[in-house]
Chains A and B, each alone.
Chain A
Amino acid sequence: MPIDLYYMSMSAPCRAVLLTAKMVGVEINLKTINLMQGEHMQPEFLKINPQHTVPCLDDSGFVVTESRAICAYLVNKYGKNDKLYPKDPKDRALVDQRLYFDLGVFYASFADFYVPIMFRGQTSIDASKRKKWDEAMNYFNTFLADQDYAAGNHLTIADLSLIASASTMEAFIPNIFNDYPKIKEWIERCKSQIADYHDLNQVGANIFGQMGQSALAKIQ
Chain B
Amino acid sequence: MALRVYYDLMSQPSRAIYLFLKVANIPFESCLVKLREGEHFQDEFTKVNPFRKVPVIDDNGFKLTESVAILRYLARSRNVEDNWYNADLQLQAKVDEYLQWQHLNTRLFCAMYFRHKFLEPMMLQKPVDEKKVARFQKEMEKCLSEIENIWLDSGKKNFITGDKISIADLLACCELEQPGMAGYDVFSKHPIIGAYRERVRKATEPHYEEAHKIVRIITNKFKGVPQANKL
Interface, chain A (partner B; CB < 8 A)? 9-10, 32, 34, 36-37, 199, 203-204, 206-208, 210-211, 214
B227: shortest Cβ distance to chain A, in Å?
23
Is B155 among interface residues, defined by CB-CB distance under 8 A? yes
Contact between A199 and B189, CB atoms less than 8 A apart = no
Number of A-B contacts (CB under 8 A): 42
B185: shortest Cβ distance to chain A, in Å?
9
Surface stretch bound by A, among B1-9, B64-72, B100-108, B192-200: B192-200
Question: Interface 1/0s, chain B 44-87, versus A by CB < 8 A?
Answer: 00000000000000000000000000000000000000000000
Is B156 among interface residues, defined by CB-CB distance under 8 A? yes
Question: Interface 1/0s, chain B 127-153, versus A by CB < 8 A?
Answer: 000000000000001000100110000
Is B154 among interface residues, defined by CB-CB distance under 8 A? yes
Inter-chain CA distance A167–B169, complex, in Å, is 28
Contact between B154 and A203, CB atoms less than 8 A apart = yes
Contact between A36 and B191, CB atoms less than 8 A apart = yes
Inter-chain CA distance A32–B155, complex, in Å, is 12
Is B188 among interface residues, defined by CB-CB distance under 8 A? yes
The contact sample of 22 A-B pairs, CB cut-off 8 A, is A9-B154, A9-B155, A10-B191, A10-B192, A32-B145, A32-B149, A34-B189, A36-B188, A36-B189, A36-B191, A204-B155, A206-B155, A206-B195, A207-B155, A207-B191, A207-B192, A207-B194, A208-B191, A210-B191, A210-B195, A211-B188, A211-B194
> Which of B154, B156, B195, B198 gathers the greatest number of chain A CB atoms within 10 Å?
B195
B172: shortest Cβ distance to chain A, in Å?
17
- What residues on B are CB-neighbors of A208 within 8 Å? 191
Inter-chain CA distance A207–B154, complex, in Å, is 10
**Chain B residue with minimal CB distance to A118?**
B188
Contact between A34 and B156, CB atoms less than 8 A apart = no
13 new A-B contacts, CB < 8 A, other than A32-B145, A207-B192, A214-B198, are A10-B192, A34-B145, A34-B190, A36-B188, A36-B190, A37-B190, A207-B191, A210-B194, A210-B198, A211-B188, A211-B191, A211-B194, A211-B195
| Interface residue from A32, A36, A210, A211 paired with B154 (Cβ < 8 Å) | A32
Determine the main DSSP class of B at the interface with A: helix
Chain B residues 164 to 220 lying within 8 A of chain A, measured CB to CB, are 188-192, 194-195, 198
Contact between B195 and A207, CB atoms less than 8 A apart = yes
Inter-chain CA distance A34–B154, complex, in Å, is 12
> Which of A9, A34, A36, A207 gathers the greatest number of chain B CB atoms within 10 Å?
A207
| Interface residue from B141, B154, B194 paired with A37 (Cβ < 8 Å) | B141
- What residues on B are CB-neighbors of A207 within 8 Å? 155, 191-192, 194-195
Chain B residues 94 to 134 lying within 8 A of chain A, measured CB to CB, are none
Inter-chain CA distance A203–B149, complex, in Å, is 13
Inter-chain CA distance A210–B192, complex, in Å, is 9
**A36-B188, A37-B141 given as contacts; is B156 within 8 A of A199 (CB)?**
yes
Inter-chain CA distance A77–B194, complex, in Å, is 37
A91: shortest Cβ distance to chain B, in Å?
35
B173: shortest Cβ distance to chain A, in Å?
14
**Chain B residue with minimal CB distance to A208?**
B191
- What residues on A are CB-neighbors of B155 within 8 Å? 9, 203-204, 206-207
- What residues on A are CB-neighbors of B141 within 8 Å? 37
Inter-chain CA distance A203–B190, complex, in Å, is 14
- What residues on A are CB-neighbors of B195 within 8 Å? 206-207, 210-211
Contact between B194 and A9, CB atoms less than 8 A apart = no
Inter-chain CA distance A207–B188, complex, in Å, is 11
B198: shortest Cβ distance to chain A, in Å?
5
- What residues on B are CB-neighbors of A9 within 8 Å? 154-155, 192
A202: shortest Cβ distance to chain B, in Å?
10
Inter-chain CA distance A210–B194, complex, in Å, is 8
**Chain B residue with minimal CB distance to A212?**
B191
Inter-chain CA distance A82–B155, complex, in Å, is 32
B160: shortest Cβ distance to chain A, in Å?
16
B139: shortest Cβ distance to chain A, in Å?
14
Inter-chain CA distance A52–B189, complex, in Å, is 18
Inter-chain CA distance A36–B186, complex, in Å, is 10
- What residues on B are CB-neighbors of A36 within 8 Å? 188-191
